[in-house]
Structures are given as C-alpha cells and as structure tokens.
Structure 1
Amino acid sequence: MFTAVREGDELAVLRLLRAGVSPESADEEGRTVLYEAAVNGAPGIAGLLLAAGADPDRLSEGADAPLCGAACGGRTEVVRVLLAAGATPDLAEEGGFRALTWAVRWGHAGVVRALLAAGADPDLPGPSGEPPLVAAARRGSPGCVRALPAHGARARREALAETRRLRVPDVAAELRTGLEAAYGPGHTYVTRRWEQEPGTVTVEVRLVRDGMPVAGDNRQTGHDAIGRLLEDSPGAGGG
C-alpha cells in the first residue's frame, strides 16, 4: 500500500482496498498511509482511503495529523478532501501545531482560506503563542493576511508593527543573520528566489555544510502590501 501511495497509483490503491488491505495501514514506525497521501499531495488517494474508513484525525506515528501534513506542504486539494471527510480544522498535533499554524508559517494562502472557510479559529495561537495574523505578517504573505481579518482575526496592531519591522532592503541578509544566530558563523549559504504568490518574491537561504544543505529559512517579500492592507483596514490601530 505504501508503495502505491508514494507512486500516486490510485488504481493500485483501489485494488488493495478491495482485496481487504486496511485504509488505516501503518508502517513499523506508525506512519499511516493517509498521512503519506496527505504529505505527497494525492487528493484522489486520500479520498479513496477516507471513503474506505480511514480516520481523518488519526495521528501518524502518534504525533502528526494528516491535515497538518497537507497544510505544511501547501496541499490545498488534500486539505479540502480531509475537511470534507470530517477532519477537525483546529486539531493540534504533537507540539501544539495546528494546520493553520503550518499554512501561515509557509505562506500557503489557499490552504489558509480553505481552513478558515471550514471553521478554523483565526485567532488560535501556535506553540510560540503569537496570533496567526502576526505570523502571517512576519511571513510576508499578503494572501494570508488578507484572509485572516476577513474571518475576524484580531491583533492587527501587533501585525502592523511586525510588518513595519520587517520592511528590510535585503531579506536574504536578514535570513542569513538568523541562521548564523542559530548555527554560528562561517558557513556557506545558497540563496534562491521564486514567485510563490503574485506580487511577492519568496527568498530562501540554505546553510550548506560539506556540500549538503543542513538548515534553511525562507520568507516572502510582501510586507509593503501587507502594511497597506492593515493600515487601510478597520481597527488597524486597535486589536
């Protein structure tokens, strides 16, 4: 079953289910096939497993929620399939992370919108205690910031302050500074840029050691647009 899921072979998954293989199958580490489908971005396979009885809220390896795995990877269609099957939008996995926490952290605006439409609480903080709107402002994703207040998110004043703090001319340099603070100076860094969301560039910096990436961070560059959104929105000066 795991091979079929990893290869995206829906027909093989269907045949295995019809042959009696459990949709709740897990490997020796407790990793479930539904979680595997979620992180691999396979909405069709996830739908087959759920229709066959897989529990959308079962934690893989006792720690990782399928909805969180899909949200972290920006798998919007899988998120929608899981929510339609009854996944709990605000389910916390090990460490206190929720799907909305992951989606905001990585700037997946489509996932944020799907979760909020399904009833996710726009103000539930992540493990660090910060509200989602502040995290979205730090990320630099106008799409995430636009979606949250539309569903009642608070902390606009704090989010605006964070946006102003992060209006820096060299995002890559700031990311390198953060990595150096965590891992020490003297490393090699590789930088790349791409358009994750229209109107912004995502900047990624990876720390490389012995030719292999060992750590990294990335951020979008939509802070000017976010500042305008928050300054123009009702309550921007309040909570």
Structure 2
Amino acid sequence: MNTREPLELFAAVYEGDENAVLRLLRAGADPDSVDAERQTVLYLAAVSDAPGIVRLLLAAGADPDRLSAGADAPLCGAVCGGHTEVVRALLAAGAAPDLREEYGFRALTWAVQRGHLEVLRALLAAGADPDLPGPDGEPPLVAAARRGSPGCVRELLAHGARARLEALAEARRWLALDVEEELRAGLEAAYGPGYEYVVSRREDEPGTVTVEVALLRDGRPAAGNDRQTGHSAIVNLLETAPGTLDG
C-alpha cells in the first residue's frame, strides 16, 4: 500500500468526499487507518456526521468498536453529536451498544445527557441496557430527568429503566431552579467569572424549550451548555407510569 494512502484517506474524510474514499479503499487503503494522534478514520467520519463514508469504511472491514486513540468509541462520538444515521450504520455493522469507552462513558450515557431522543431510541432498539450507569454511577433515568427531556424519560421507562424515585426527586428539584441561571453558574464554575454570555432558546422536542447558554471570548462563543425544560412533564410521567415508585 502506498504510504500516502492513509493521509489521502483522512483528507478525503475531512472533505466529505465519498468518491475519493471509495477510490482509496479500492486501491487498498486500510479502513482502520489512524493518524499521527492515533485517531481512527472511522471515528473521524462518525463525528463528522458522514454516514455514507462510515458505511464505506464499515463495508471495507473497519472495526466499529475500535477505540480512537485508545479512548473514544465511534458510536459514542456519533451519539454525542446526535448523528442518528451514523449511529444506525454503526449498530447495523455490529457496534456494541453498551461498549464502555475511556472514563466509563457509554453511548447511552451521552444520549441521555445530550437529550438526543432518536439516537436513544436506536440504541435501545439495538439492545442497550437502560440501567447501565455513567462514569459517576448515576442511572440513565436520573440523567434524563436532569436533562429535562420527557421523551428520553418515556423511552427509558418503556424499556424497564429503574431508579424512578431518584429520577422523580431530580425532576422535582429542577422545577424549583432557573435553568438559565444554573447553566450560567456551571460555566462560571468551570471557566471563571467576568465573561459575557449569549442565551438562546429553541424547541428540540415538542412541548419543551431547550435553553442554551454560550460563554463569549473576544465576542465569539468559546464554551456552552444547554438543558431542556420538560421537568414538570417528567414529574407527571414518573408519578403516573405503571408500577410502583420503588426505585
């Protein structure tokens, strides 16, 4: 294989050029190629939301569960970005839905923390365990309640998720908080006071508003966080769902 082929393959993925990727793979480029930082080409395609390229790499034999730089799973990278088509392609190729990447994160952990409902549905349909905790030991249902996504809570309950009492307490706690102020306080705790902020609101999920707070440096967004506001609906879901509130 030409020693330039891995570099050319990465360049083609960065450019989103499916034809070039196909040509290079047919010429013998390794679908499990890594760059100087040991990032895998499949991980790059996954986080770039390039489902066509992801499918080409997988069809050429790329390992869907190989950790990029020994730490990051392609599935988790796609889930973080809410790249549903990429997630489905990886799962169809045999990616383990409960694979644990460095620091204990799993795809489902990212899905509920980010409120990516369609991604969560795909993971659960592929057999992801609705009760496997995140790196801090927190159950997914509690994380979904904090996120403020009624849809994520509903999907987890439908798949038998436990920790309902803890999730109910978390949803009730957020009912008494100002979401914008909490997000701002979290950013200040991480980056220090004195920055300007931009606040935006959008509807990612029917019936809830997603509040996003972005920290500005030199007038440009440098960091941010967001949260949904469906905590009241979540309280109702948890209080009225079949079964007992036994955790």
TM normalised by structure 1 equals 0.95
Aligned to 1:129: 137
1:118 partnered with 2:122: no
Shift in Å, 1:169: 6.3
1:233 partnered with 2:216: no
Distance in 1 (CA, whole Å) between partners of 2:176 and 2:226 is 14
Runs of at least 5 residues in structure 1 that lack an aligned partner in the other structure:
none
SS in 1 for 2:226: strand
- Note the 1:1-239 alignment, pairs <5 A: 1-168=9-176, 170-235=178-243, 237-239=245-247
Distance in 1 (CA, whole Å) between partners of 2:102 and 2:221 is 26
Superposed CA RMSD in Å reads 1.4
Note if contact 1:230-1:236 (Cα within 8 Å) is conserved in structure 2: no
SS in 1 for 2:211: strand
SS in 2 for 1:89: coil
Runs of at least 5 residues in structure 2 that lack an aligned partner in the other structure:
1-8
Distance in 2 (CA, whole Å) between partners of 1:11 and 1:168 is 53
Look up the equivalent residue of 2:95 and give its one-letter code. Answer: A
Note if contact 1:157-1:236 (Cα within 8 Å) is conserved in structure 2: no
The verdict on how the C-alpha distance between 1:235 and 1:157 changes in structure 2, with shifts beyond 3 A counting, is: farther
Look up the equivalent residue of 2:122 and give its one-letter code. Answer: A
SS in 2 for 1:166: helix
Distance in 2 (CA, whole Å) between partners of 1:199 and 1:236 is 26
Aligned residues: 239
Note if contact 1:91-1:99 (Cα within 8 Å) is conserved in structure 2: yes
Look up the equivalent residue of 2:59 and give its one-letter code. Answer: A
Distance in 2 (CA, whole Å) between partners of 1:14 and 1:236 is 54
Distance in 1 (CA, whole Å) between partners of 2:178 and 2:129 is 34
**CA deviation string 1:39-81 (max 9, x = no partner):** 1111111111011000000011111000000011101111111
Which contiguous aligned blocks of 4+ residues in structure 1 show a shift greater than 4 angstroms? none
Shift in Å, 1:213: 3.2
Distance in 1 (CA, whole Å) between partners of 2:194 and 2:147 is 26
Note if contact 1:208-1:215 (Cα within 8 Å) is conserved in structure 2: yes
Which deviates further from its counterpart, 173-182 or 83-92?
Answer: 173-182
Distance in 1 (CA, whole Å) between partners of 2:140 and 2:233 is 18
Look up the equivalent residue of 1:31 and give its one-letter code. Answer: Q
Look up the equivalent residue of 2:92 and give its one-letter code. Answer: A
Distance in 1 (CA, whole Å) between partners of 2:140 and 2:129 is 9
Shift in Å, 1:176: 1.1
Which deviates further from its counterpart, 147-156 or 199-208?
Answer: 199-208
Look up the equivalent residue of 2:155 and give its one-letter code. Answer: A
The verdict on how the C-alpha distance between 1:169 and 1:138 changes in structure 2, with shifts beyond 3 A counting, is: closer
Which deviates further from its counterpart, 131-140 or 21-30?
Answer: 21-30
SS in 2 for 1:160: helix
Distance in 2 (CA, whole Å) between partners of 1:41 and 1:183 is 29
The percent of aligned pairs where both chains have the same amino acid is 75
Distance in 1 (CA, whole Å) between partners of 2:40 and 2:95 is 15
Distance in 2 (CA, whole Å) between partners of 1:17 and 1:127 is 37
